[in-house]
Amino acid sequence: MNRHQIPDGIFSESTIPKHYRNWNKMIDYEELDLLFVSSLPPFHYNMVKTALKKGINIVCEKPFTMNRHESRELIELTTHYSAKVMIDFEWRFLPIRQKMKKLFQNNIGDLIHFDYHISSTQYEHLHLTSRGWMAQKKQFGGMLGAIGSHMIECNEMDSR
């Protein structure tokens, strides 16, 4: 199954999917077990907070929020409601990352130098289009917000 692809057979004539243009209405009208927040980063905080207060479990794309204050507030809210929150950080589970992790766990030696290169045609495309949030710092984009966090996490994983 590809990312964001709905598996064949999940829908039948009796389970026709509904579409909403307003996420608040969907949360109000549907009985949800899980909400996957995959919107632009500035919207994550309100979506997660609303879902938490309704007891809906959440998987939220990174970046979780726009700043640490919002993140702390949401984490605190999880202690008052029955819902759980997970942050989707899928690059951690790429096969090459898992192989690197195993190599370091098997003590292949000391890490002397770490050099990380990335080439992303999507980044250039998003930077140049009207949906170019990845290139806008105020939208939590730019190299650090959009891609840099994966570099930092990879370095931390390899240095443990």
Q: Could you read off the pLDDT of 122-145 as tens digits, one per residue? A: 666 655 665 566 666 677 666 666
Task: Note whether 37 and 48 are within 8 A (CB).
Answer: yes
Q: What is the DSSP letter of 105?
A: H
The model's pLDDT over 35-94, given as tens digits with 9 standing for 90+, comes to 999 988 899 999 999 999 999 999 999 889 988 999 999 999 999 999 999 998 877 788
pLDDT recorded at residue 159: 56
pLDDT of residue 62: 86
Instruction: Judge whether residue 96 has pLDDT over 80.
Output: yes
Structure tokens at 112: 């002397």
- Which stretch, 32-36, 120-124, 145-149, has highest mean pLDDT? 32-36
Amino acid at 5: Q
Question: Pick the residue with more confidence: 55 or 151?
Answer: 55
10/30: higher pLDDT: 30
Asked whether the predicted pLDDT for residue 30 surpasses 50, the reply is: yes
Helices (H), the chain: 23-29, 44-53, 68-77, 95-105, 121-128, 142, 149-158
117 is written with which tokens?
């290169």
| Region 18-44 average pLDDT | 91
Q: Identity (one letter) of the amino acid at 11?
A: F
If you average pLDDT over residues 143-156, what whole number do you get?
72
